[in-house]
Amino acid sequence: MQQEDIKKIIKISWVASILLAIVLIAIGGAWLKAQQVEEKQTFMVPMRDGVRLATDVYLPVRDGSFPVILIRTPYNKDGLRNVGIEGVKRGYAVVIQDTRGRFASEGANLPFETDARDGYDTVEWLIKQPWCNGKIGTLGGSALGITQLLLAGTGTNRISAQHITVGAPSMYFDGVYPGGEFRKSMVEDWLRITQFHPSALKIWRSHPTFDAYWRSGEINDKYVRVNCPAVHIGGWFDIFAQGTINAFLGYQTQGGPGARGKQKLLIGPWTHAVFQEKAGELTFPKAKNPPTRYSDAWLWFDHYLKGIDNGVDREPPVTYYVMGDVDDPSAPGNEWRTADTWPPTEATLTPLYLHPDKKLSWDKPIKAGKVTYTYDPVNPVPTIGGYQLTIPAGPKDQREIESRPDVLVFTTEPLEEPLEITGRVRVIIWASSDAPDTDFVARLCDVYPDGRSYNICEGILRACFREGFSRPKWLEKGKIYRFEIDLWSTSIVINKGHSLRLHITSSSFPGWEANPNTGKLVYESNKMQIAHNTIYMDAQHPSHALLPVVKGKK
């Protein structure tokens, strides 16, 4: 194994395990004296198909039954012993389980394929234990958050509360194929570094469309089965940024009676490592200290598992960080806000139009215009920052790629007043290609007065999935189509004197796979071809960014 791989393993393990610690309040004195806690017990808990999962149980020394915290992890249960000890100190039984095929557990070493039913079976085992008082909460971040979401989607009525950090309700849309294009570096690196079986990559590669395989493993269509309050924590530059918001909204508005109206969303200017002030190249003031107590998982569980009236249930449903100019202490933004809904109701979708002279303007184009660029998959545009895991993430200066001829750069005049954008961002373009398939990438940037251009949010759309992700529809040469690119969500005030910038291109590699433009996937054929892609900007084809502008701020 190469030294670089070892470093990445350490990084991934840190993200997965430490996420649990950072969602708890600063834990002091976690290691108790030996007489205060029993040594853990390990059980091989049988699933419905006979496979046994290694499960550590930490119990207080006194007799009786206790509320239970359940953590299911693919990253080795042994690394979370401190959480078990801390939970016992606080009067909980803590159960930490290796997921199927991982470390001490039996079964096939494939990610998430059986986590829904395995989680359900584990909870059914828990409820029968004499030390379980019937109140069960689930905890964890990243993959540990995904296992929680899958469990909730089974319809179990055994869960009293969840605390989910940087989770994804859809492995297709949030994880492996956002916009229909394969998320190359994150997926390949994660599967390899964490040493899942090599067949896992082959399986995910063999399902490029949103088919029955992916539907069975997500909860976007199962929110009505969810029946518990939950905290959802995410970051504007996290790999699952939109997934966190989607899960909150799904639980909050579509969930069962135990879930609907009982959710909390906390989202800050973070990458996959939350509760940090620095993301990418920028440092955001007060970002590590959100003004909410439900970021503390123990307070959340104290209320819902122990019945303590500590007020966490009465705090505003949404706490979010509005980013701003990090160089100007007097600039608007760079502050925490609260809201009753997401997005805040004052946001109004407002089009910002592309023009052939590479300008962005609130004025709709009148004269006919278009711009053509050449996309060569052998020489793709490199990924710089953004929603990444194993390559540097977050806001990064984009000027390195803005001089490339295959990156169209559209920019507003410097703003005369601050502009707030809070909500989901989309880009609608009218485009044609001489290839049967290609990609379109859109990236929104905040341009500082000195020229630095920082990515705010971005998205991709594989052209053949412009009408849906279940079946590809190939392009006709030269025909103009409408493409809607989802850039996910953000909250930022673009300061006076700054400009908004939009990139339109066809690659971001290795963050996403480079589309070979042939109608085939890279693993199906090594053939590639150059695509000549044209963006149209006129009254009939008004290509634009659709921005959620806060009223009175445009």
Burial class (CB in 10 A: 0-12, 13-18, 19+), 242: buried
Locus of tokens 């997401």: 342
Whether the link from the prior residue into 343 is cis, omega within 30° of 0, is yes
Q: Could you give the count of Cα atoms lying within 13 Å of 420 in the half-sphere of its Cβ?
A: 20
Tokens of 304: 């819902």
Q: What pLDDT score does 36 carry?
A: 54
| Lowest-pLDDT choice from 21-35, 146-160, 208-222, 251-265 | 21-35
Q: What is the mean pLDDT of residues 460-488?
A: 98
CB neighbours of residue 397 within 10 Å: 19
Q: What pLDDT score does 288 carry?
A: 96
The C-alpha atoms of residue 344 and residue 422 are separated, in whole angstroms, by: 8
Question: Does the pTM exceed 0.85?
Answer: yes
What is the per-residue DSSP string for 225-268? G--S-EEEEEETTSTTHHHHHHHHHHHHHHS-TTTTT-EEEEEE
DSSP state for residue 386 in the 8-state scheme: B
Q: What is the mean pLDDT of residues 218-224?
A: 96
Q: What is the mean pLDDT of residues 226-231?
A: 98
Q: What is the mean pLDDT of residues 106-125?
A: 98
Tokens of 174: 């949030």
Q: How confident is the model at residue 39 (pLDDT cuts 50, 70, 90)?
A: confident
The C-alpha atoms of residue 96 and residue 103 are separated, in whole angstroms, by: 13
- H or E stretch covering 83: helix 81-89
Domains assigned to the chain = 3-169+219-254 (3.40.50.1820), 347-550 (2.60.120.260)
- H or E stretch covering 290: none
The C-alpha atoms of residue 542 and residue 354 are separated, in whole angstroms, by: 7
Question: If we measure between CA atoms, which residue out of 117, 106, 96 comes closest to residue 20?
Answer: 96
Q: How confident is the model at residue 365 (pLDDT cuts 50, 70, 90)?
A: very high
- H or E stretch covering 339: strand 335-339
Distances (CA, A) of 378 to 39, 166, 439, 526: 57, 33, 14, 11
Strands 499-505 and 408-411: antiparallel
Q: Is pLDDT of 281 > 80?
A: yes
The C-alpha atoms of residue 397 and residue 403 are separated, in whole angstroms, by: 13
Q: What pLDDT score does 367 carry?
A: 86
Q: What pLDDT score does 552 carry?
A: 58
Higher pLDDT, 217 or 238: 238
Q: What is the mean pLDDT of residues 193-203?
A: 97
Average pLDDT, the chain: 93
Q: What is the mean pLDDT of residues 211-236?
A: 96
Q: Is 495 in contact with 418 (CB distance < 8 Å)?
A: yes
Q: Is pLDDT of 32 > 60?
A: no
Q: What is the mean pLDDT of residues 114-141?
A: 98
Q: How confident is the model at residue 526 (pLDDT cuts 50, 70, 90)?
A: confident
